[in-house]
Amino acid sequence: MDPVVLLAVQVAATWTMVGVIWFVQVVHYPLFARVDGPGSAGYATENQRRTTWVVGLPMAVEGVTALWVAADPPDVLGRTLPVVGLVLLAVVLGSTVLVQVPAHSRLAAGHDAGTVRRLVAGNWVRTVGWTARGALTVAMLVQVAG
C-alpha cells in the first residue's frame, strides 16, 4: 500500500478517536454524575452498547494501521515514531481495559458517585494519550508526504 495513503487512513482513524475522547471527557462522562436512581444501571448498560458501535471501527482501523506502519515503516520515517505511536496506543488501550471498562461495569450495577469521579479522572490518560497520538500521526504523514 502507498505509505501516504496508509498514514492518511491512520490519521483519519486516530483523529476520529481524538474527537470522540474529548467529547467523552468534557461532556459525556461528567454527565454520568447526573444519572442517578433506578434507571442508572440501564443507562450505563445501554451507553456501553451504543458506544461500541461508534468507536469499534475507528479503533480497529487505528490499531491495524499503527501495527502496519510500525512493522513496515517507510524508509524516510524510520522506526522511532511508529514505535512511540504504538506505545501511546498501548497506554490508551491499557487504560481502557484497566480503568474505564471496570468502571463501566460497576456503573452497570447501579450509580456510584465515586466510580463516576474515577471514570472522569482516569479518562485523562486516554484523552492526553490519544491527543498526543493524533499529533504524532500528523507528524508522520507530513514527514512521509514531504
Positions in the chain whose pLDDT score sits under 50: none
Backbone angles phi, psi at 36, to 5 degrees: -120, 160
Q: What local confidence, expressed as pLDDT, does residue 46 receive?
A: 94
Distance, CA of 127 to CA of 28 (rounded, Å): 13
Rounded Cα distance, 84 and 88, in Å = 6
Q: Which three cell numbers stand for residue 95?
A: 487504560
C-alpha cell of residue 104: 463501566
**For residue 78, what pLDDT is reported?**
94
What's the CATH fold of domain 3-145?
A: Four Helix Bundle (Hemerythrin (Met), subunit A) (1.20.120)
Q: What angle, 0 to 180 degrees and rounded to 10, lies between the N-to-C axes of helices 80-95 and 113-145?
A: 160
CB atoms within 10 A of CB 81: 17
Region label for 111, one of left (φ > 0), alpha (ψ between -120 and 50) or beta (otherwise)? beta
Domains of the chain by residue range: 3-145
> What pLDDT shows up at residue 71?
96
Entry pTM: 0.94
For position 146, what pLDDT does the model report?
Answer: 86
